[in-house]
């Protein structure tokens, strides 16, 4: 952004603030104000703390008094000659005054004016964000653990429902034997049929949750292994199809990884894409043609080498084969040179820090499990210290 444009934004934001200015030697304040301050609860909610900081410190040059115990920053301001304090600490962000009751109306006016100034400074905030993206000075959030836990939960629910269905089948068989009734009476319909249908639904949900995890985790593995290193590359890969994400991590020139790619892609296309398109599919799966034999599926028996995971009328397929592909994927993903990445991605909730791609931090950590353990421990301690604001 051109300096003259920033200056225009600065002037607009200052006009919106009105009489609010940086506190100085002429501002009236109790000498113990920083220790005796009291938070004012305003009806008009304050903007996010980071926008207030960018507005006052980065754009308008207000003074940040720095860190204190359990406080990240605090900015003294002057409103009609009297001191107030904007503070961000462990317990949140707020506006502080000498006497919240008598200074309540002034605090409301401050909150209103700060909101207006934030709105006027929006182009400046956009500029800061674009600048950070261009320089790759960003972190990429890591949701791999909860996404994988969701998959494991759904898979266990599927297994439990299958066991319940089997137990129900055994119980029915015993009843048939005791009553000496034809087996066919119990073979169709009833509670057992419902249990099988519910198991199918849970199986589908488990596979979908697995692919949801892969969409996320493959990007993080690509960052740690050096497949992508900039914010632009992360954004592009996030928007790309699943095949490109897979190839950013695996080497499909290698036989085992190429075989995994073929199997996983087939599973994704035959199940997840079918469900995502409202159970109509994209290849005529929803059609049955009229014939002397009755209604016949348009997709007749598979050709040699075609679909491995074909869906039937009840969205039922070979789950054991499908979960076999899933298990192979997980095993191969965390094997060999990618093994250290599991410690960082699935062993912690640490974000991917793109500046660590440029300075070689990740490449050094990926050299061994020991190096990665040291990095995870160090960053976890830093994160805990920052969260607790123990400066």
Q: What is the pLDDT of residue 212?
A: 95
Domain boundary among 95, 119, 134: 134
Q: What is the pLDDT of residue 304?
A: 43
Domain boundary among 116, 134, 152: 134
Residue 350 phi/psi, 5° resolution?
-65, 140
Give the burial class of 87: count Cβ atoms within 10 A of its Cβ; 0-12 exposed, 13-18 middle, 19 or more buried. Answer: buried
Q: How far apart are CA 343 and CA 372, in angstroms?
A: 7
* Contact between 33 and 83 (Cβ < 8 Å): yes
State the chain's mean pLDDT as an integer: 88
Q: What is the pLDDT of residue 295?
A: 73
- The answer on pLDDT for 312 being more than 60 is no
- Residue 62 belongs to what domain range? 3-134
Q: Dihedral sign, CA of 356, 361, 367, 373?
A: negative
Name the 3-class secondary structure at 283.
Answer: coil
Residues 174 and 319 in one domain: yes
Q: Dihedral sign, CA of 160, 164, 169, 170?
A: positive
Residues 118 and 169 in one domain: no
Residues 182 and 267 in one domain: yes
Dihedral, CA atoms, 156, 157, 159, 164, nearest 10 degrees? 140
Number of domains in the chain: 2
Q: What is the per-residue pLDDT across 98-147, written as a single tens digit (0 to 9) for each?
A: 999 999 999 999 999 999 999 999 999 999 999 999 999 999 999 999 99
Q: What is the pLDDT of residue 165?
A: 80
Q: How far apart are CA 82 and CA 26, in angstroms?
A: 9
Q: How far apart are CA 16 and CA 114, in angstroms?
A: 8
Q: How far apart are CA 118 and CA 116, in angstroms?
A: 5
Residues 43 and 165 in one domain: no
Residues 154 and 281 in one domain: yes
Residues 275 and 369 in one domain: yes
Residues 163 and 300 in one domain: yes
Q: What is the pLDDT of residue 303?
A: 47
Dihedral, CA atoms, 374, 238, 308, 299, nearest 10 degrees? 170
Residues 246 and 317 in one domain: yes
* Contact between 158 and 206 (Cβ < 8 Å): yes
Q: What is the pLDDT of residue 273?
A: 59
The pLDDT-based confidence of 277 (bands split at 50, 70, 90) is low
Residue 138 backbone class (left: φ over 0; alpha: ψ -120 to 50; beta: rest):
beta
Residue 312's closest CA among 301, 324, 325?
301
Residues 48 and 162 in one domain: no
Q: What is the pLDDT of residue 248?
A: 97
Q: What is the pLDDT of residue 309?
A: 47
Two tokens at 123? Answer: 């182009």
Q: What is the pLDDT of residue 173?
A: 61
Residues 146 and 126 in one domain: no
Residues 128 and 23 in one domain: yes
**Residues 244, 376, 230, CA angle at the centre, nearest 5°?**
35
Residue 140's closest CA among 343, 361, 345, 358?
345
pLDDT average, residue stretch 265-279: 72
Helix axes 190-224, 319-333, angle to 10 degrees: 20
Q: What is the pLDDT of residue 167?
A: 76
pLDDT average, residue stretch 154-162: 95
The pLDDT-based confidence of 290 (bands split at 50, 70, 90) is confident
Q: Strand locations in 210-298, DSSP E?
A: 288-289, 296-297
* Contact between 192 and 168 (Cβ < 8 Å): yes
Residues 218 and 303 in one domain: yes
Domain boundary among 111, 134, 157: 134
pTM: 0.82
């Amino acid at each position: 952004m051109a300096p003259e444009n920033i200056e225009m934004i600065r002037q607009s934001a200052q006009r919106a603030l009105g009489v609010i200015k940086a506190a100085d030697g002429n501002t009236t304040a109790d000498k113990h104000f920083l220790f005796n301050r009291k938070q004012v609860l305003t009806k008009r909610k304050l903007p996010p703390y980071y926008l207030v900081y960018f507005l006052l410190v980065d754009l308008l040059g207000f003074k940040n008094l720095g860190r204190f115990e359990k406080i990240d920053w605090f900015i003294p301001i002057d409103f009609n000659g009297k001191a107030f304090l904007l503070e961000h600490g462990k317990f949140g962000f707020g506006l502080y005054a000498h006497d919240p009751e008598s200074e309540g109306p002034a605090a409301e006016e401050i909150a209103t004016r700060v909101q207006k100034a934030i709105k006027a400074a929006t182009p400046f905030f956009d500029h800061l964000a674009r600048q950070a993206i261009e320089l790759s000075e960003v972190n990429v959030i890591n949701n791999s653990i909860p996404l994988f836990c969701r998959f494991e939960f759904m898979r266990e629910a599927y297994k439990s429902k299958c066991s319940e269905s089997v137990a129900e089948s055994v119980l029915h068989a015993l009843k048939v034997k005791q009553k000496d009734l034809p087996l066919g009476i119990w073979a169709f319909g009833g509670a057992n049929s419902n249990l099988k249908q519910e198991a199918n639904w849970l199986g589908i949900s488990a596979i979908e949750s697995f692919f949801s995890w892969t969409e996320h985790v493959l990007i993080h593995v690509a960052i740690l292994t050096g497949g992508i290193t900039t914010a632009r590359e992360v954004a592009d890969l996030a928007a790309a199809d699943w095949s490109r994400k897979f190839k950013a991590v695996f080497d499909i020139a290698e036989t085992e990884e190429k075989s995994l790619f073929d199997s996983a892609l087939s599973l994704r296309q035959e199940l997840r894409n079918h469900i995502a398109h409202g159970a109509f599919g994209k290849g005529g799966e929803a059609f049955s043609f009229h014939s002397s034999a009755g209604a016949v599926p348009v997709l007749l028996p598979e050709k040699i080498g075609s679909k491995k995971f074909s869906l039937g009328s009840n969205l039922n397929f070979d789950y054991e084969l499908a979960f076999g592909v899933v298990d192979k994927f997980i095993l191969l993903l965390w094997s060999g040179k990618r093994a250290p990445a599991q410690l960082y991605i699935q062993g912690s909730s640490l974000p991917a820090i793109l500046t660590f791609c440029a300075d070689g931090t990740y490449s050094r950590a990926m050299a061994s499990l020991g190096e990665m353990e040291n990095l995870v421990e160090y960053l976890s301690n830093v994160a805990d210290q920052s969260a607790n604001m123990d400066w």
